[in-house]
Structure 1
Amino acid sequence: MKCYRLYKETVGGYANIGATSVDFKNFKRDLKAYLVGVDAQMLIDKLFRKKKICSAFSFEYDVDESDQLTRIFWADPVCIKNYALFGDVVSFDATYETNRYNMVFAPFTGVDNHKKCITFGVGLLLKEDVESYTWLFRCFLNAMGREPECIIKNQDPSMKIAIPHVFSTTCHRFCMWHIMSKFESAMDSQRHKSAQLTKVSESSIPEYKTPLHIERYASSVNNHSIFYLVQKEICYACFSCAVLSLQHEGCVFTYVISDERALHFTVVHNTSDGTTLCSCKHFERIGILCRHIFFVLKDKKVNAIPDRYVLRRWCKDSILKPLNAFEDGVFQQCVGTEEQTVAMKTLWSDIHFCVGMIEYQPHLFQQFSDAIKVQKELLSSSQPSIAAATSKSDVIKGFYGSPIPTQLSVHPPQQARNKGCGKRIKGGKEKAIEVSQKTKRLCRTCNQKGYHDSRNCPLNSDE
C-alpha cells in the first residue's frame, strides 16, 4: 500500500493511477514469483554479460555436486583501479542477513585519498569455513594481481587460518563489526561522493590561513579533505607551539616543543638528508606531518613539504598513478550496464529536468504539456497494439533486466547455517534456572501459584 499511495502522489491522484491497490499487491507477488528457482542463474548470466561488455570485469563462482551456488566473487574495473591506488590496507569482514539464503556478504573495503570508504571487491559465501575463505581470497588475489600490505579482519578462526595460506606476506589485524547492505546503490553513492570531492579538489583553491609557502604547497599536492587536516596542523604550529629547548650537533638539531595542551615533544631534524622525526609519531600513525614538525620546518624556512612526507595515497587524483601496469583505456570500458537501461534512465532524467525547470512558469509548462500530449497521441495512433502486446511478464523482465533462463546450470543455494544462525540446545539445568526466574502465576483451576495457568493446569490432564 505504501507504493500505491506514493505513486498516487507522483501522478497527481488516484484517478490517474490506472490500477487498484490489489493490482499493486499482485504485481509484487508476481515479481517475487518470477525469480523462484532461477535467481542464481540470472545472477550468473548478468555477470557474464558484464564480462562480455567489459573484459576487465572479474568474477568467479563455484557450485556443489548438485549444481547449487555455494560462493561467488566479483570486482569491476573501478574496484581494481582503486585497489591499485589505495590497496595497501584492506578491511575484510562478513555481514549477515543481507539476502534470502542467509549467504555471508563479504566486502573488501579500503580508504581513498579523501579518507572515504571504497570497495575493492565483494564475495558471497554459503559457508564460513577455511575452504570458502581460501577460495575467496584466491579470487581476490587473482583479480588484483598483488597482496595487500595489511588486512584488518574480525576474529573468525576460519579466516585466521585462510589468510596466511593466500596472503603469505600480508600483516593481519583484528577489526570491529560493521554492516553493509544494498551493494549496487551503496557503490553508486560511494563513487558519486568520491567524484564530487575530486571535482572540488581539482577545480577550486581552498582558503589559506597563513602566509607560509608550505601551506600553498600542501594545497597543490593534497586534495581538499587532507589539506584541511594539514592546514590545521600548520595553524597550530604557527599560533600554539613554542620552543622549550634547542640543541644541535653537526647537522642534527633537537627541539623540545610545547603545544597548546602543555605537552612536551622532541623533534629531531637532520639538515643533511632532510629527515624530521617527532616523538608524537603522528606521521607514522596518520600519514600527515604533525604541528611540531611544521613548527621546525617553519623555523628552518622550509617552503615545501619534503617528498618523503607526502604520501601518494593522499595526493590529488591528477597526481596519482596506479601501482600496477594496466592496458591503456581498460578503466574507460563500460562496467557492465546495458545500453537500453542507461538510455531509459537518461530519458527519465531529461523529463524530470524539464519538469523541474518549468514548474513555476505557467506559459512554458503549458507548452511542454501540449508537446507531450501530441507525442502521446502520435504513438497511440501509429502503434495502437503496443499497450496490448506488452504483457506483465515483459514488464517484469524489463524491471529485472534479465529474461528467465531457458537452461539452468546453476541452481539457487541452500539456506545457509553459519555462526549466529538458529538456536543452540539448552541443558536441563539452564532450563530450570530460566523457569525459576519467572514470576509465579495464580491458576484459577487449582487455586495454586505456579508456572502454569488454567489452560495447562495439571488437573486438566487428570480429568
Structure 2
Amino acid sequence: MVGSFTDIGATCVDFCNFRRDLLAYIAGADAQMVIEDMFKNKEANPDFYFDFDLNEERQLCRLFWTDAVSRKNFACFGDVMSFDATYRTNRYKLVFVPFTGVDNHKRCITFGASLIAREDVQSYTWLLKSFKTAMRHTPRCCITDQDPALKVAVPNIMPETKHRFCMWHIMSKLGDKVGTALANNSDFKKAINNTVWDETIRAPEFERRWATVMTDYNLVDHRWFSQLYEAKETWIPAYFQDIFMGGLLKTTSRSESENSYFGKFTKHHNSLVEFLMQYNRAIEEQRHNQNKLNARCEGSFPETKTPMAIERQAAVVYTIEIFYEFQPELWEGSFNCKITNKTMDDGARKYIVQETGKKLFEVTYQETTQITECSCNKFNRVGILCRHVLAVFKDEDVQEIPGRYIVPRWTRDADAQPMYDIVWKATSNTHGGNERRTVANKLWNEFYNCMGLANGWPDQMEAMLTTLQQLKATLQSATQHCNPSATPQSVIESIVNATAPSEIQIKTPSVAKNKGSGKRLKSNKEKACEKNKKKVRKCATCDKPGHDSRNCVENKELP
C-alpha cells in the first residue's frame, strides 16, 4: 500500500523500543492500571461488569470481567457452557480462565474471562459467584475437567446447573489404567467405546453393556472402573438426556480450542496491560467473524437439492451451517429410507423405518399433537430432525417442520430470542469512543482510496502530497497550541487507556505457582510416544541402529 519496505514509517526496532518504553511507563503500576481501565469501561458502559480481589499484601490475585455483548450472548446461547484453565499468558503466571459457549453458527463465543492466582476451591468459588452475579442466570449444563477444586465449587455455587466431566479426559487415561494387554486389544477398545460414547442408548442399556464389558474382561473388581461407574451420572451421555445438549458439548474441546485461539494473541512474558490489550484484540476478531456469519445468513440462502417445501422452509429458518447438517438428513430420509411396517397404537401411528444397509428404527407419529419420537434419539442430541422422522413426514405429506421441532438457538434470528428473561444492550459510549473510532476508520478508508486513485499519476500524487503536508503543518500547530507537552508518553496513555498513577494502591501480583505454570511432568505413555517419534541413528555400513561405522562389526572383520 505504501510503496515498499523503505516507505514504511516504523521498523521492528521501533516496535521493540516502543514496548521497552511501555514497560518502563507501566513499571510497578501494572495491576493498578488494569483496574483503572476496568473502571473507565464501566463508566463508559454501565453494562460492563468486573470484579477483583486482593490478597493480604494488597496484590491483585483475582479478576473477572465481561461486557454487554458477552452478557447478551450468554442470554441467547448460555444453555451449555464449558471452561478450562490455560497457562503461560502473562509474566505473573496468573491462570487465564475464559468461559466458552457455542453460537447459532456452531462457533465458539466467549461469555467472560478471568485471571486467578491459584486453582483452589476458594478461587473458583469466588470466580463462579462473580460469573453468576454478572449473568444473573446459570447454564443448564457446565462441562469441565476433573479438577478437585471444581468438583466442590460448581455444585456449591451453581446447584441448579448439571456439572459434567470431560469424557475425553477420562477415556484418555484408559490405556494407562488397564495395562498393555487390554490397551492393545481391539475387541476391548471397541466394546468399551461402543458402551461409553453411544449417545442413542438409555441408562438401563448403558448399565447392561457396562456390566457385560466388565465381566468379559475381568474388570469387575478394578478400582478405577468402579469409581467411574459410581460417577456415571457426571459423564455418561445416557444420564444427560433430560437436558437438551444439541450436540454442543460433551468434552472440554471447545474450551481447549478457545485457549489455543487466545494463545495466538498472548505471550508468557506479557504484562497485565499488554495481556488485556491482546485479549481485546482477540475478542474483536472473534466478534468480527461472528458478524460476518450473521451477514452471510442475512444476505444469502443456501442452494436446495429438492423441490420439497420442507427444505425451502429449513433454508429460510436455519443458519447456513445448520441447514447443511439438515439437508443430508432430508435427502437420506426422502430417498434412502423406506417404511417397512405401519401400525396403530392408542391413536398414534408406529412406523418401522429402515435405512439402506442399516438396522431398523421405530418412529411414533401423532398427527393431532404433532409429537414424533424416533428410537435413534437424534433430535434430543443434535436439535435437528433425523432422516427416519423425515421419511415419516414424507409419507404423511407433512409440508413443513412443526414449530416444536425448530430449536430457536439454531435459527437465523437466535440472538434476538434470548432463552433467559434478560436482554443485555450495549449503551452508547459516554466519552464518544465509538464515534472517534468510526471517524478514524472512515478517515483511513478515504486516505487509501485517494492513494489508490492517485497512484500512477505523478501530478495527482504531487497535489495530494502538498495537501497533506499543509494539513500536517496545521495539525502540528494546533496540537502544540492545545497540548504543548505532547510526548510519546501521551501516545502510550492513549493506547493503554490509562495513566500511570501517582500512588499505587493495587500491587502487581507475585509470580503464581500452579500445576500448569511450570514444567509439566510427562507420563510414561507420552515419553514412549516421543521416543518412538525420534529418528534412530543407524550405522552407514550395516544400516543397523545402536552404533556407527567406526564401531561396526563388519568394518572390524575387514583385513
Distance 2:22 2:164 in 1: 43
Distance 1:337 1:129 in 2: 41
Highest RCO, 1 vs 2 (Cα 8 Å, sep ≥ 6): 2
Q: 1:207 to 1:368 in 2, by over 3 A?
A: farther
Shift of 1:51: 0.5
Distance 1:380 1:400 in 2: 23
2:116 counterpart of 1:116: no
Q: What is the SS of the residue equivalent to 1:330? A: coil
CA offset digits 1:112-144 (Å, max 9, x no partner): 111111111111100101010000000000011
Distance 2:471 2:459 in 1: 19
Shift of 1:259: 2.1
Look up the match of 1:174. 165
Look up the match of 2:305. 209
Q: What is the SS of the residue equivalent to 1:292? A: helix
> Which one of 135, 141, 145 corresponds to residue 154 of structure 1?
145
Look up the match of 2:19. 28
Distance 1:198 1:100 in 2: 37
Q: What is the SS of the residue equivalent to 2:393? A: helix
Q: 1:415 to 1:10 in 2, by over 3 A?
A: farther
Q: What is the SS of the residue equivalent to 1:397? A: helix
Look up the match of 2:97. 106
Identity among equivalent pairs (%) = 39
Would you say how many aligned residue pairs link Structure 1 and Structure 2?
415
2:494 counterpart of 1:398: yes
Q: 1:20 to 1:105 in 2, by over 3 A?
A: closer
Q: Summarize the alignment of residues 65-104 of structure 1 with structure 2, pairs less than 5 Å apart.
A: 65-104=56-95
TM-score, structure 2 as length reference:
0.68
Q: 2:80 is matched by which residue type in structure 1?
A: V
Q: Summarize the alignment of residues 136-285 of structure 1 with structure 2, pairs less than 5 Å apart.
A: 136-175=127-166, 176=252, 178=256, 179-180=259-260, 181=262, 182=265, 183-249=279-345, 251-285=347-381
Distance 1:187 1:262 in 2: 45
Deviates more, 1:342-351 or 1:305-314: 342-351
Distance 1:114 1:252 in 2: 35
Q: What is the SS of the residue equivalent to 2:51? A: strand
Look up the match of 1:448. none
Q: 1:123 is matched by which residue type in structure 2?
A: S
2:426 counterpart of 1:331: yes
2:412 counterpart of 1:421: no
Q: 1:262 to 1:269 in 2, by over 3 A?
A: same
Structure 1 gaps of 5+ residues are 1-8, 426-463
Q: What is the SS of the residue equivalent to 2:426? A: helix
Distance 1:335 1:253 in 2: 62
Distance 1:71 1:211 in 2: 57
Look up the match of 2:397. 301
Q: 2:289 is matched by which residue type in structure 1?
A: K
Q: 1:105 to 1:372 in 2, by over 3 A?
A: same
Look up the match of 1:432. none
Look up the match of 1:444. none
Q: What is the SS of the residue equivalent to 2:416? A: coil
Deviates more, 1:127-136 or 1:307-316: 307-316
Q: 1:49 to 1:294 in 2, by over 3 A?
A: same
Distance 1:331 1:291 in 2: 41
Deviates more, 1:376-385 or 1:182-191: 376-385
Look up the match of 2:232. none
Q: 1:406 to 1:389 in 2, by over 3 A?
A: closer
Look up the match of 1:451. none
Q: 2:46 is matched by which residue type in structure 1?
A: S
Q: What is the SS of the residue equivalent to 2:472? A: helix
Q: 1:51 to 1:378 in 2, by over 3 A?
A: closer
Contact 2:88 2:517 in 1 (8 A): no
Q: What is the SS of the residue equivalent to 1:55? A: coil
Contact 2:2 2:8 in 1 (8 A): no
